[in-house]
Chains A and B, each alone.
Chain A
């Protein structure tokens, strides 16, 4: 069982991690961050990315409803991992991790991020 700050430092300890941020998805608020130059802008951008993906997938999926487990975006510089975490009283929180393309092991990072989110939110 870990707190918000431990959650971020554990995320930053994942090999290849360049930056990590915890975002409140509904309001686009940056709750806690490490290694990001402009967290407020990142928070807005990442929550909009997540939302656009949800909307787009909902339209394209045969049954019309979507639950995203995590989102992996590969860019020319690296990877961006976005993982939603459900809390009981609020919309999803997003834990987002930016990874270096050369140093990161995507499968490992994804697994570690999953563990971290379960440690932060026990439910």
Chain B
């Protein structure tokens, strides 16, 4: 049974507790809203805080034991000055969106719901379930726009020895990925190693693949340009009768190279223009 269906039912019934999806992860609900999600493939809040040196492993263990019964560990960490209220909320928010992306949509043999179970960190942000599904869908589409093939997602990241471009611009995250890529580690493992969420890491890997910086199995098929709308008979005058196979009309557009970097740039330009109307 897909975990999404179970989750939707729980949300509708206003459930409070933890939905365990075997070893894949856990979704924490409060009155039908999601307050935290953990996924085995993405760094948890605990892992993010220890990876960045905010807390030591033993410090984290002690905090968890102290707060296990009361489920107010987050507030305790804020009081102790480990991180600010805003940082805690942002960390929970980011980790939850990240985990949801990899956990949802998966088929889980026997998801178990434990009524009343709470996470030791407590509740720091709420997500409504349909909104969370929408965001996962948007992230999936964004990933496919960057590089429309999932082949790289589970393979080790291998930077190319020599690039064809003369000049490359990298983001800070892309730099970290390239530095840590040892031709053996997959994007998800890299994310855990450098203490970054898995989705941005995956996105950065696909973007670097599109820019020709990574060894790829084979280039994905270029995106097919959308078909022009079907002509309706007599809708508009046509210069030559009988020659309307659409080819002439299309040739007035500039050539699209099919190079993923070009397509990417066009998509980014379009998005920016649409948002800035």
Interface residues of A (CB under 8 A from B): 1-4, 7, 24, 26-29, 31, 40-42, 44-46, 48-49, 51-52, 54-55, 58-59, 87-91, 93, 119-123
B52 touches A26 (CB 8 A): no
B206 to chain A, nearest CB (A): 12
A2 to chain B, nearest CB (A): 6
Contact mask B76-119 → A, CB, 8 Å, 1/0? 00100001111101110110010000000000000000000000
B83, B171, B203: the one within 8 Å of A122 (CB): B83
Taken together as a complex, chains A and B put the C-alpha atoms of A46 and B275 apart, in Å, by: 8
Taken together as a complex, chains A and B put the C-alpha atoms of A49 and B272 apart, in Å, by: 6
Q: Which residue of B lies closest to A88 (CB)?
A: B52
B51 touches A44 (CB 8 A): no
B31 within 8 A of A: no
B111 to chain A, nearest CB (A): 26
Q: Which residue of A lies closest to B175 (CB)?
A: A65
The interface stretch among B192-200, B221-229, B237-245 is: B192-200
B272 touches A59 (CB 8 A): no
Contact mask B140-174 → A, CB, 8 Å, 1/0? 00100000000000000000000000010101110
Among A41, A46, A89, the most chain B Cβ lie within 10 Å of the Cβ of A89
B268 touches A52 (CB 8 A): yes
**Interface size class, chain B:** 35 or more
A46, A49, A51, A91: the one within 8 Å of B200 (CB): A91
Task: Give me 21 A-to-B residue pairs in the complex whose CB atoms sit less than 8 angstroms apart, sorted by A's number.
Answer: A1-B78, A2-B85, A4-B86, A4-B90, A26-B200, A27-B97, A27-B200, A29-B97, A29-B138, A44-B271, A44-B275, A49-B276, A52-B268, A55-B169, A89-B43, A89-B49, A90-B90, A90-B196, A90-B197, A120-B87, A121-B86
B39 within 8 A of A: no
A4, A28, A42, A90: the one within 8 Å of B89 (CB): A4
Taken together as a complex, chains A and B put the C-alpha atoms of A41 and B138 apart, in Å, by: 11
B97 to chain A, nearest CB (A): 6
**Total contacts A-B at CB 8 Å:** 107
Interface residues of B (CB under 8 A from A): 43, 48-49, 51-52, 54, 78, 83-87, 89-91, 93-94, 97, 125, 135, 138-139, 142, 167, 169, 171-173, 195-197, 199-200, 203-204, 268, 271-272, 274-276
Would you list the 8 A-B pairs with minimal beta carbon distance, nearest first? Answer: A45-B275, A120-B86, A26-B200, A122-B84, A88-B52, A89-B48, A48-B272, A3-B85
B43, B90, B138: the one within 8 Å of A87 (CB): B90
Taken together as a complex, chains A and B put the C-alpha atoms of A7 and B93 apart, in Å, by: 15
Query: Inside 8 A of B52's CB, which chain A residues have their CB?
Result: 88-89
- A27 in contact with B199 given A45-B272, A45-B276 (CB within 8 Å): yes
Query: Inside 8 A of B268's CB, which chain A residues have their CB?
Result: 48, 51-52
B142 touches A28 (CB 8 A): yes
Taken together as a complex, chains A and B put the C-alpha atoms of A58 and B43 apart, in Å, by: 30
Query: Inside 8 A of A91's CB, which chain B residues have their CB?
Result: 171-173, 196, 200
A32 to chain B, nearest CB (A): 9
Taken together as a complex, chains A and B put the C-alpha atoms of A4 and B275 apart, in Å, by: 23
Query: Inside 8 A of A40's CB, which chain B residues have their CB?
Result: 138
A46, A51, A93: the one within 8 Å of B90 (CB): A93
Query: Inside 8 A of A51's CB, which chain B residues have their CB?
Result: 171, 268
B274 touches A45 (CB 8 A): yes
A3 to chain B, nearest CB (A): 5
Q: Which residue of A lies closest to B52 (CB)?
A: A88
A26, A58, A89, A121: the one within 8 Å of B203 (CB): A26
B43, B86, B97, B274: the one within 8 Å of A7 (CB): B86
